[in-house]
């Protein structure tokens, strides 16, 4: 097997329902060992895209290769190399955490150790508890544990930390970092932009079924969107200046006289850049529709 080939290759992916295009000529690649974050508002086509890659949905057009296999034709040996954490689960859960994980471990040729996985998602104390008696966040951790039990080469995480408290989210990030260190390739969708910034190597932003931007986490949106802002207050009110030389701006403020109040130098976060991208896209669409 050619290890330099991308793990995921998507070209001009298209999925239509009647006349509605849920996904419209989306293209991207994920390299081995990379964590790729797929971002976008609800209904943008993220889940449709990820479900096509997981083999759950058929595509209308374009070409897709996941671990060198067309997901529409992926067999059991192919599935054994994937880990899938779906967006939601509501199973009756009449088995305990350890029973469920031990059972699922049996599906895979090279499973992880059940107790280690239980520990890695922080459920040691709940290992003997029936899944239906767990809280929403704890059940979500079981979902994640089931996704990684088979030591997947490629892990799909569809909004994995919904319902987690901040501490659980931090622990989850730590887990994902350790999976990355093991060489696992990860495709992540999330609504938490800090999560994407923490974990992702690259990100793609989908809106209205189209990939509106794609790039490294610290480059997405372009250099201009990352221009730092200097904010301060004085007798005339609030001021904000976008500048590539924030130090010079501060120096000139100081040179002008008194220490400014509430002085801040802010670099736009991924969230700021993302919101800007999505709103620019929505605006461009409105203009297009108005014509």
Partner 1 sequence: MSTPTTTSSAATAASTPSFGLGIGRSLKLGFSRITLEVRSYFRQGDSVFFTFLFPVVMLTIFAVAFSEQNFGTEEEPLTAAAFYLPGMIAAGLLLSGLQNMAIDIAMERSDGTLKRLAGTPLPVMSYFIGKIGQVFVTGVLQAALVILVASVAFDVELPSEPSKWVTFAWVFVLGVTTSAVLGIALSGLPRSGKSATAVVIPVALVLQFISGVYLGFSMLPEWLQNFASIFPLKWMAQGMREVFLPASFEVMEQSESWNLPGVAIATGLWLVIGLIMTRITFRWIRKDS
* 89 makes contact with partner 1 (CB under 8 A): yes
Closest to partner 1 by CB, 145 or 277: 145
Q: How far is the CB of 246 from partner 1 (least distance, A)?
A: 38
* 151 makes contact with partner 1 (CB under 8 A): yes
* 90 makes contact with partner 1 (CB under 8 A): yes
* 107 makes contact with partner 1 (CB under 8 A): yes
Contacts of 288 (CB under 8 A, 6+ apart): none
Stretch that binds partner 1, among 53-61, 227-235, 264-272, 278-286 (CB under 8 A): 53-61
Tokens of 239: 């001021």
Q: Across-strand partners of 37?
A: 188, 203
Tokens of 84: 């899938």
Work out the burial of residue 94: count CB atoms within 10 Å of its CB; fewer than 13 is exposed, 13-18 middle, 19 or more buried. exposed
Site string for partner 1, 155-194 (x = CB under 8 A): ----------------x--xx--xx-xxxx----------
Query: What is the total count of residues that contact partner 1 (CB under 8 A)?
Result: 58
Q: How far is the CB of 22 from partner 1 (least distance, A)?
A: 10
Q: How far is the CB of 266 from partner 1 (least distance, A)?
A: 32
Q: How far is the CB of 128 from partner 1 (least distance, A)?
A: 13
Closest to partner 1 by CB, 145 or 278: 145
Stretch that binds partner 1, among 116-124, 220-228, 242-250, 256-264 (CB under 8 A): 116-124
What string of H, E and C letters represents the secondary structure of the chain?
A: CCCCCCCEEEEEEEEEECCEEEEEEEEEEECCCCEEEEECCCCCCHHHHHHHHCCCCCCCEEEEEECCECHHHCCHHHHCCEEEECCCCCCCCCCEHHHHHHHHHCCCCCCCCHHHHHHHCCCHHHCCCEHHHCCHHHHHHHHHHHHHCCCCCEEEEECCCCCCCHHHHHHHHHHHHHHHHCCCEEEEECCCHHHHHHHCCEEEEEECCEEEEEEECCCCCHHHHCCCEEEEEECCEEEEEECCCHHHHHHHHHHHCCCCEEEEEECCCHHHHHHHHHHHHHHHHHHHHHC
From the list 14, 21, 31, 108, which residue makes contact with partner 1 (rule: CB under 8 A)? Answer: 108
* 19 makes contact with partner 1 (CB under 8 A): no
Q: How far is the CB of 59 from partner 1 (least distance, A)?
A: 10
Stretch that binds partner 1, among 49-57, 186-194, 262-270, 275-283 (CB under 8 A): 49-57
Q: Shortest CA distance to 34 belongs to which of 64, 8, 1?
A: 8
From the list 150, 160, 221, 246, which residue makes contact with partner 1 (rule: CB under 8 A)? Answer: 150
Closest to partner 1 by CB, 96 or 243: 96
| Binding-site ranges for partner 1 (CB under 8 A) | 1, 3, 17, 54-58, 67, 75-77, 79-82, 84, 86, 88-92, 94-95, 99, 103-104, 106-113, 116-117, 119-122, 130, 146, 148, 150-153, 171, 174-175, 178-179, 181-184
């Amino acid at each position: 097997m050619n290890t330099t080939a991308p793990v995921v290759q998507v070209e001009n992916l298209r999925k239509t329902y009647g006349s509605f295009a849920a996904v419209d000529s989306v293209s991207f690649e994920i390299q081995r060992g990379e964590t790729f974050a797929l971002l976008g508002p609800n209904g943008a086509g993220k889940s449709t895209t990820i479900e096509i890659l997981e083999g759950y949905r058929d595509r209308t057009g374009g070409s897709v290769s996941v671990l060198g296999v067309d997901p529409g034709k992926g067999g059991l040996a192919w599935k054994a190399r994937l880990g899938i954490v779906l967006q939601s689960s509501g199973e009756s859960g009449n088995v305990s955490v350890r029973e469920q994980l031990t059972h699922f471990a049996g599906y895979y040729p090279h499973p992880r150790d059940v107790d280690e996985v239980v520990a890695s998602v922080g459920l040691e104390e709940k290992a003997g508890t029936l899944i239906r008696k767990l809280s929403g966040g704890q059940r979500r951790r079981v979902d994640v544990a089931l996704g990684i039990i088979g030591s997947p080469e490629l892990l799909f995480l569809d909004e994995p930390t919904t319902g987690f408290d901040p501490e659980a989210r931090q622990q989850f990030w730590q887990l994902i970092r350790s999976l990355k260190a093991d060489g696992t390739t990860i495709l992540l969708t999330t609504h938490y932009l800090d999560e994407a910034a923490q974990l992702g190597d690259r990100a793609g932003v989908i809106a209205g079924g189209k990939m509106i931007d794609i790039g490294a986490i610290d480059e997405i949106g372009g250099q201009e969107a990352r221009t730092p802002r200097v904010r301060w207050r004085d007798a005339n009110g609030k001021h904000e200046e976008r500048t590539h030389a924030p130090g010079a701006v501060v120096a000139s403020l100081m040179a002008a006289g008194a220490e400014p109040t509430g002085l801040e130098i802010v670099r736009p976060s991924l969230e700021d850049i993302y919101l800007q991208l999505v709103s620019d896209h929505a605006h461009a669409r409105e203009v297009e529709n108005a014509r």
